[in-house]
Chain A
Amino acid sequence: MIGQVVVDGVTNGAMIGLGAIGLTLTYSLLRFANFAHGEFITWGAYLALLLTGALGTVLGGAPIGDLTFGWTLLAALALAMALTGALAVALDTLLFRRLRRQGTEIALVIASFGASLALRSAVEFIFSLQPLYYSHDIAMAVRLAPGMQATEDQLVLFGVALVLMLGMHLLMRHTALGRAMRAASENPLLARLVGIDVAAVVRGTWYLGGALAAAAGVFLGATVQLRPTMGFDLLLPLFAAAVLGGIGSVPGAMAGGLIIGLAEAAAVPLAGAQYRAAVSFLVLLAVLLLRPAGLFGKAD
């Protein structure tokens, strides 16, 4: 049973990590907790749904091997990531950037809460509350070891998630953009003085965060289901993962996501599946009590 907990925890943890990266980056760069981040997950998933429908007529929707999805979903994933990144940038340009200029920090948090409600309710309005699926095929399970199994879908998407997270980590560490993002996070004024276009960095951060969230959404939608609250329900685990990992740290968000994923999976046999989200809250409280800076964060 422990083995299955590990499998479930790791696969879920990868998804939470993907979502938490964008959250931790915008939190660190812009100094506010974006409650609308979950909606990038939701919109990414639903956009991919629309795109699979549209692309299916063009590319044919044949699944690959034993997976429930095929190239159509993967293409839709790429497009949904691009579109959701643009959505994130648009939200910042239309709403958050203007509020930043006016200088009221509380307005940002409330506005993000309001934007979250609006975006979520828009999905409800368009798609209704009914759960939806990318495919109604049965997912083939693969036995990894005695007592440990995962579906092929999960394994492939987990691989995709790993590649994305690794790519993001490399970007932060070894590219000029990554250096610029870290400098701008630490000291935006000084970053401008060393020639960094901080406005462009802000847009880039939103774009990447939104795109990764969309990937998390497709992952969730493909392995579980699509619901209008899917992203919002992940907000608490995402915040917990970001805080646990240390605000602003991409490896931290990944590690935090993994730990939260494992903790939630471990809680299921102990407390029942309904209390999963409460686990994140307990982890969050523990982190704030013991080490508020998180695993990879600097002490404030």
Chain B
Amino acid sequence: MLGLASYFAFFLTVALTYGVATLGLNLNWGAAGLFNVGVAGFMAVGAYVSAWLTAAPVASHWGGFALPIPLGWAGAMAGAGLAAAGLGAITMRLRADYLAITTFGAAVSLQLVARNAVWITGGPFGIAFIPRPFERLADRPFGFGLANLGLAVLVTALVWLALERLTRSPWGRVLRALREDETAAASLGKAPDHYRLQAFVIGAALMGLAGAMQAQFFGFIAPDNYLPVITFQVWVMLVLGGAGNNRGALLGAVVVWGLWALSGSALHLVLPPGWQARGASLRVVAIGVVLAGMLLLRPRGLIGEEATVSRHVPPAARAEPLP
């Protein structure tokens, strides 16, 4: 019974970390209309920065400053935010899907570096022995799980509150205005790219935080944790929950993570050992098909209130879609 409870606590803890990432993506997409296809990359930056800052020194790779966890997490946010600032500075003024390609490329490249730069990142085996919060409780699984969950809930709540304040602030109103009618908002003297860049950076910082939280909760990280399927999962979480809606983002994260974990366990139980890897592939196929189906059948309720068409598409073309 206690085992089940602590499993559930852990499940919810991880779901909430994805929730934080989804909230970040919601700021990118829901509030500012930015296609960020590099979520996994920003999570990776956050995870590795936090690992470097908090782990004990190790001969095989750089880092190991053994700083307290809160500093690790702050550093993670800064690192991810910085990476986003760099990328955004180059792409923000360009057409919308150049950002998609660039963030995708960044995530792929980052994962490549994580895998190969052994002396920085520990290579394919990643970094282990990352200090976990409430380490003293580690021998009491239920208490440990509950404490971690409490921390996750606290952080998520803080992030959520901060985002709610942000969206209701003047800054948030400008972003909304930009999304509705860019020309009008720009004529008020608000530089659209500035605001979008800020939304991009803050959202990325949250993804970095999520990565850092996971690093601490799991205690180890590896490059293969940050493959494009992670980006895809977070997008599904956002789309399912309803973009533009912070509550929806969190709900989507919990639901999708639940489905993912459940299907994983189900496949694990049902399939014979030789078929495990193939079963994992099938799970991804299913999720891809489900997402496509949702986009086709329930577009309005899922992808926000209005369709955001690329700002470079002229109005005439918007009215007459291609056959």
Measured CB to CB, the residues of A under 8 A from B are 29-33, 35, 95, 97-107, 109-111, 113-122, 124-125, 128-129, 188-189, 198-199, 202, 232, 235-236, 239-240, 243, 272, 274-275, 277-278, 280-281, 284-285, 288-289, 292, 300
The stretch among B55-63, B103-111, B160-168, B193-201 that forms the contact with chain A is: B103-111
Question: Count the A-B residue pairs with Cβ separation under 8 angstroms: how many?
Answer: 167
Instruction: With both chains docked as a complex, state the minimum distance between the C-beta of A19 and any C-beta of chain B, in angstroms.
Output: 15
From B112, B278, B283, B285, give the contact of A128 (CB < 8 A). B278
Q: Mark B219-242, 1 if CB is under 8 A from A, else 0.
A: 000000000110110011001000
Q: Could you tell me the distance in whole angstroms from the C-beta of A296 to the nearest C-beta in chain B?
A: 17
Q: Which residues of A contact B229 (CB under 8 A)?
A: 117
A89 to B98, CA, bound (A): 24
Q: Is B95 an interface residue (CB 8 A)?
A: yes
Given the complex, which residues of A lie within 8 Å of B288, measured CB to CB? Answer: 114-119, 121
State how many angstroms separate the Cβ of B271 from the closest Cβ of chain A.
Answer: 12
Q: Are A99 and B316 in contact (CB under 8 A)?
A: no
Let me know if B90 and A285 touch, CB within 8 A: yes
With contact pairs A113-B232, A300-B312 given, residues A284 and B101 touching in the complex (Cβ less than 8 Å): yes
> Which residues of the partner chain A approach B94 to less than 8 Å between Cβ atoms?
288, 292, 300
Residues of A within 8 A of B249 (CB): none
Query: Closest approach, in angstroms, between the C-beta of A124 and any C-beta of chain B?
Result: 4
Grouping DSSP codes into helix (H, G, I), strand (E, B) and loop, the A interface class, with mixed when no group exceeds half, is helix
Pair A118/B289 contact, Cβ less than 8 Å:
yes
Query: B3 at the A/B interface (Cβ < 8 Å)?
Result: no
Instruction: Digitize B99-126: 1 where CB-to-A-CB distance is under 8 Å, 0 elsewhere.
Output: 0111011101100110110000000000
Residue B71 lies at the interface, judged by CB distance under 8 Å to chain A? no
In the complex, 23 of the A-B residue pairs with CB atoms within 8 angstroms, ordered by the A residue number, are A98-B296, A102-B299, A103-B309, A104-B307, A105-B307, A105-B313, A106-B303, A109-B35, A109-B37, A109-B97, A114-B291, A117-B228, A117-B285, A117-B287, A122-B281, A125-B282, A128-B277, A188-B320, A202-B323, A236-B104, A236-B105, A236-B108, A281-B105
B322 to A35, Cβ gap below 8 A? no
Once bound together, how far apart are the Cα atoms of A236 and B110, in whole Å?
13
Task: Determine if B292 is an interface residue (Cβ-Cβ < 8 Å).
Answer: yes
**CA A71 – CA B316 in complex, angstroms?**
51
Task: Say how far B108's CB is from chain A's closest CB, in angstroms.
Answer: 5
Residues of B near A274 (CB, < 8 A) are 112, 115-116
CB-CB under 8 A from B239, the residues of chain A are 110
In the assembled complex, which residues on chain A have CB atoms less than 8 Å from the CB atom of B236? 114
Question: Is there an interface contact between A105 and B291, defined as CB atoms closer than 8 Å?
Answer: no
B322 CB → nearest A CB, Å: 5
Task: Indicate if the CB atoms of B102 and A189 lie closer than 8 Å.
Answer: no
Indicate if the CB atoms of B299 and A104 lie closer than 8 Å.
Answer: yes
Q: Which residues of B contact A189 (CB under 8 A)?
A: 316-317, 320
B313: min CB distance to chain A, Å = 7
In contact, B105 and A280 (Cβ under 8 angstroms): yes
Q: Which residues of B contact A114 (CB under 8 A)?
A: 232, 236, 287-289, 291-292, 295
Partner of B105 from the list A100, A106, A115, A240 (CB cut-off 8 Å) is A240
The residues of B that contact A289 with a CB separation of less than 8 Å are 90
Query: B309 and A188: CB pair below 8 A?
Result: no
**B282: A residues at CB distance < 8 A:** 121, 125
A107, B302: Cα distance in complex, Å: 10
> How distant is the Cα of A94 from the Cα of B30 in the complex, in angstroms?
27
Chain B residue, CB-CB nearest to A104:
B307
Q: Flag if B285 contacts A288 (CB, 8 Å).
A: no
Shortest distance in angstroms between A233's beta carbon and chain B's nearest beta carbon?
9
Instruction: Establish whether residues A95 and B292, one from each chain, have CB atoms under 8 Å apart when the complex forms.
Output: yes
Q: How many angstroms from the CA of A99 to the CA of B303 in the assembled complex?
A: 12
Q: Are A199 and B323 in contact (CB under 8 A)?
A: yes
Residues of B within 8 A of A280 (CB): 105
